Amino acid sequence: MPYGMSKDNNILSARRLFKAYYIGDSKIDVLIEVNLNIDRGESVSIRGESGCGKTTLLNILAGIERPNSGAVNWKGKNIFTQKPAQMADWRSIFFGIIFQSYYLIPELNALENVYMPARIRGELGIPEENRAHNLLERVGLRKRMKSSATTLSGGERQRVAIARALMNKPAVIFADEPTGNLDEKNGEGIMDLILDICEEENTALVLVTHNKKFANRTDRQFSLHESKLENIS
């Protein structure tokens, strides 16, 4: 992927993020002065021990959670200046999210789950249907399109979740421990797929994982340690 990129390529940047949780009288500092730049089409990984704040950081970058202070700028504009309803619509256009636990809708089949982001935007025509079919083929599920989500294995569910995340042609995919519930072999297959497909689609990837081998496969690597984000690549 484009590496050593110019400033113009920057799409998402976190500026001096601080985040703390308060439980009773005690304060947990999760993020202290975190900065991160993401360029168009590049992949970055964020590694760190369980409970160090990886999910919190990913949720803030994706506009799901708010920082106590600091900004997440999208093409130079702070995403948190939007109203919450506007933010959800905006997010569904530019971002795709893959979670550890897949979060498919159990009542729907694979194809209907992949359609869902387009349906939410009120755009479900022939081009979207073709895209959903092509994405499911791309993730190796041509024969399981009509299968109920509940009948799929963990690896298959994660493949559907990958196709769904890509449905609206996002500029950035956020993946929060996407292999965390899978065995080594399935995990490798899912990692290959996420990295290859993001490259094909020129989609930036923010990967959270505690698997060092997977983390090392992204263009740049970061470590979250004692609330600080460090570039380790």
Which residues of this chain interact with ligand ADP, rule CB under 6 A?
21, 23, 28, 30, 48, 50-56
What minimum distance in Å lies between the beta carbon of 54 and Mg ion? 5
41-80: contacts with Mg ion (CB under 5 A): 54-55
Residue 85 binding target from Mg ion, ligand ADP, none, CB below 5 to 8 Å by type: none
Question: Which CB atom, from 55 or from 218, has the smaller least distance to Mg ion?
Answer: 55
Question: Which CB atom, from 57 or from 193, has the smaller least distance to ligand ADP?
Answer: 57
Question: Which CB atom, from 41 or from 178, has the smaller least distance to ligand ADP?
Answer: 178
On whether the CB atoms of residues 214 and 220 are closer than 8 A, the answer is: no
| Dihedral sign, Cα of residue 166, residue 168, residue 174, residue 177 | negative
Residue 53 binding target from Mg ion, ligand ADP, none, CB below 5 to 8 Å by type: ligand ADP
Between CA 177 and CA 57 the distance in angstroms is 13
Which residue number has the CB closest to Mg ion? 55
In the chain, the amino acid numbered 12 is L
Question: Which CB atom, from 52 or from 162, has the smaller least distance to ligand ADP?
Answer: 52
Q: Return residues touching Mg ion (CB under 5 A).
A: 54-55
